[in-house]
Amino acid sequence: MADREVGTKEDEEDDGSHFLVLGEDERNELVPLTLTIVPEWVSNSTFVSKSINEDSISLDDASAFLPVDIVEMLKSCEITVLFPVQKETIPRIVEWNGRFQPLPVPDICISSPTGSGKTLCYVVPIVHFLRDRLLPRIRALVILPTADLALQVYQQFLNCAKHTPLRTVLITGQQKFQNEVKKIYKQTDRGLIACCDILVATPGRLQDHLRGPLSHAFCLTYLRFLVLDEADSLLADYDLQWFKEIDSAIFESAVRPNDEQEYSKSGSLLPPLEVRRYRATAATSPEELFAAAKFPLQKFLVSATLTFNPDVIHKIGGLFRPRLFQSLDCIGVEPTGEQMISFPQNLDEFYIDCEPIRKPLVVHYILRRFKRDRILCFTETRRHSHRLCELLRLMGNDKVGEVSKNLKRVDRSEIIRSFNSGKLSVVVCSQIMARGMSFKKLGLVICYDSARTIQEYAHMAGRTARAGDSGIIITLMSEEEKARPLSDGRGARLIDRLRPFDFDFNALRKGMPKYRVALGNLKKKMAKDK
């Protein structure tokens, strides 16, 4: 099943905000009053430093709130420090989950730039609290919008849980359904049952298993952690049908404790035959909240562009006593009080005034100027990516690769490996791939086509300036793109946050003959490939 993102556009209507002022002959237009209503948990958020180099802590200092085996596990993964967002979130999550309390643990929201280390913020606590489980059951479900991003998170779990009995399984549709089934299920004395501990999935593939022939054995009633990574993308689905099915699978059946020891961890002396799970919301009765605390479900919403739209939050069952951790460099809450967007600290943002016909030639000269850097170039469509990649090769750029959703995952992975190893110096891809890739020491991002939303731009910018490194993003902008407002309803333009890049257009004249020849050859090649 393909993952879907559905958006709606409301028609503008007369809201009655225009009035005729008595005593005047003409109608005056009054600006309607707009109220920004920010949830209390957003205004009371914990701010996270964006200075990775200055405000990280060593793993030795982390031993104050993490057990020795977890610290050693992180060191074995070649992790030497905790970044600011990890330093702020992990101790609190460990504390809230590690002590008895009559109410369910709070849900966690993290809004921090791409590359700031958000993934470890939930990987470490999940591994920490599940590593001593008695029986394997699906207790952590991590959902991501793309298979490539899910693979990266899956590998992070494998690294962090390699010295524990925990089993992590990836389901994204990249493997045959039956191969995924073999990894998830085991035959027990109670019959077939899902026996992995951590499940990393994309929404569509998760639905396939929830609806499949073994759905009766796909047990989520023991789920302890639910993570929505790249939450803004996941929650863009209009009706969130995939989440409704997850929610039903979690709460429709009673929990059946496996033995006295298993249940005793929840605070009861003797296990009953079954225990009903309760949703923890602001409307839940005190009695049900106490019951929910025995088998809590903690939600994590993680993104560089995190939504706080109350309608969307309601569709995922609401959040219970949510705690928000946000970067100090967040743009802020939109006028509707719905979103915060973060950018890396060491990011330099530029634009080049460039008409569409000259954009490929400008990219060619940027590649020559930054030839020692790894460069990622985003275009608006896969067609633009393919044509630009072919044209750059025809102009003599032989270390250029193309990443597309048309490629098999194995082929995409090979290109990314070649890019990280230095065999390729440039990768061209469409903007839709901005969320699904991670690169080492990426020095420059080029936006061949200007982003239409600040969210798109933030995710493209987040490919560079990661983990405290510096980075540059350059957007090529035509006159139309410079004047175009971002499609978020506020009228702001992307160019308003960018600086002009020092570029010598006279240098382009020397390359025009070669460029025209390359364009002619590209036209012939495209016609031949049809």
Q: Could you give the CA distance from residue 272 to residue 291 in angstroms, rounded to a whole number?
A: 13
Which tens digit of pLDDT belongs to each residue from 149-205? 999 999 999 999 999 999 999 999 999 999 999 999 998 887 888 999 999 999 999
**Nearest alpha-carbon partner for 433 in 376, 393, 479, 392:** 376
- pLDDT value at residue 24: 41
Q: For residue range 250-292, what is the model confidence (pLDDT) as tens digits? A: 987 655 554 434 444 444 433 444 567 888 887 788 888 888 8
Residue-level pLDDT at 238: 63
In the block, residue with structure tokens 């639905």: 207
**For every residue of 481-522, which 3-state class applies, written as one string?**
HHHCECCCCCCCEHHHHCEECCCCCHHHHHHHHHHHHHHHHH
Weakly modelled stretches of the chain, pLDDT under 50: 2-36, 258-273, 333-337
Tokens of residue 10, six digits: 């409301």
Domains along the sequence of the chain with CATH = 40-340 (3.40.50.300), 347-529 (3.40.50.300)
Q: With contact defined as beta carbons under 8 Å apart, do 173 and 409 qualify?
A: no
CB-based burial of residue 468 (10 Å sphere; 0-12 exposed, 13-18 middle, 19+ buried)?
buried
For residue 15, what are its two tokens? Answer: 């809201």
The burial class, CB within 10 Å (0-12 / 13-18 / 19+), for 30 is exposed
Are residues 137 and 219 in contact, defined by beta-carbon separation less than 8 angstroms?
Answer: yes
- Could you give the C-alpha distances from 407 to 152, 185, 235, 404, 415, in angstroms and in order? 18, 30, 26, 6, 10
234: three-class secondary structure by DSSP: helix
Residue 254's pLDDT is 57
End-to-end CA distance of the chain: 29
Cα–Cα separations (whole angstroms), residue 394 to 361, 366, 399, 423: 12, 16, 11, 18
Nearest CA to 119 out of 150, 96, 91, 95 is that of 150
| Model-wide pTM > 0.75 | yes
Q: Tokens 């969320």 map to which residue?
A: 435
- The 8-class DSSP code of residue 495 comes to G
